[in-house]
């Protein structure tokens, strides 16, 4: 049963028009059509568009009309408003908006293979940690494509759920953010996830790129959960991968810091 058939059937139900919320509800239950509803995030209320294959768009700071036009241009389909996300989806999406987005199905159809690779790599960055544009480039096997990675993240259609805010510059400066509000929004979201933006800026000023532990002889990106286990007395800092290796340290197998250089 297609979306057009469902819509035609709803129009034929009695003489009075069906409530505007009925069509999105029926389409959602049948897994048909594209629709959107508001949801709450660390940046306030956002609009979330969803379709048969998953979430297709997240935006904030836009009118419903502008959002509908933007989504239609992105996916080539009309997106309809609904009062709320379906119950089965709402909890997962709102958790994703607050940093736990790995369980959210995302529809990246229409994007280039490179763009999808960048976004999928970005989804692997754990909550409370950051990586660099260079890290993403090397993770997808394109170490020379750092600028292109930045461009792809700047056109992330599903921010917050796909955490492009967790990708920063090579010296740990925050860099730009595609969402409304720019770097200030990026700072707010990272802080809400347990990352201290001031600490990252201090690392940039001091030219520290990696943290090591003199007990394990392993070096990590500074926000790696393993790096944070090292007490200050046993923490060693390095300005480059080469310096860490020259001191006899090996890269962490979890955060893979060599890809952050």
Q: Percentages helix, strand, coil for the chain, rounded to the nearest 5?
A: 40, 15, 45
Cα-atom radius of gyration of the chain, to the nearest Å?
Answer: 21
Here the tokens at position 66 are 């502008």
CA dist., res. 28 & res. 79, Å (int) = 12
Q: Considering the candidates 106, 164, 220, 252, report the single residue annotated as catalytic.
A: 164
Here the tokens at position 22 are 């009925």
End-to-end CA gap in the chain = 52
The answer to whether 164 is a known catalytic residue is yes
Burial label for 112, CB within 10 Å (0-12, 13-18, 19+), is exposed
Tell me how crowded residue 66 is: count the other CB atoms within 10 A of its CB: 12
As annotated, the active-site residues are: 164
């Amino acid at each position: 049963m297609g979306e057009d058939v469902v819509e035609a059937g709803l129009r034929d139900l009695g003489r009075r028009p069906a409530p505007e919320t009925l069509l999105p509800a029926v389409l959602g239950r049948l897994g048909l059509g594209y629709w959107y509803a508001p949801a709450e995030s660390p940046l306030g209320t956002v609009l979330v568009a969803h379709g048969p294959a998953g979430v297709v768009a997240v935006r904030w700071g836009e009118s419903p009309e502008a959002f509908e036009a933007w989504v239609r241009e992105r996916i080539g389909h009309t997106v309809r408003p609904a009062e709320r996300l379906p119950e089965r989806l709402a909890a997962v999406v709102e958790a994703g908006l607050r940093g736990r987005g790995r369980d959210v199905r995302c529809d990246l159809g229409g994007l280039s293979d490179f763009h999808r690779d960048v976004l999928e790599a970005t989804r692997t960055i754990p909550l409370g940690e950051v990586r660099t544009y260079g890290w993403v480039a090397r993770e997808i096997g394109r170490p020379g494509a750092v600028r292109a990675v930045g461009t792809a993240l700047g056109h992330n259609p599903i921010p917050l759920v796909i955490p492009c805010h967790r990708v920063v510059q090579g010296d740990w400066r925050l860099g730009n953010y595609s969402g409304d509000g720019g770097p200030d929004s990026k700072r707010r979201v990272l802080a809400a996830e347990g990352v201290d933006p001031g600490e990252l800026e201090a690392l940039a000023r001091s030219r520290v790129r990696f943290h090591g532990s003199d007990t394990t002889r392993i070096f990590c990106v500074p926000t790696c959960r393993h790096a944070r286990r090292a007490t200050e007395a046993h923490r060693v800092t390095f300005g480059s991968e080469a310096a860490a290796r020259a001191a006899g340290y090996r890269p962490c197998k979890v955060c893979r810091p060599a890809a952050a250089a």
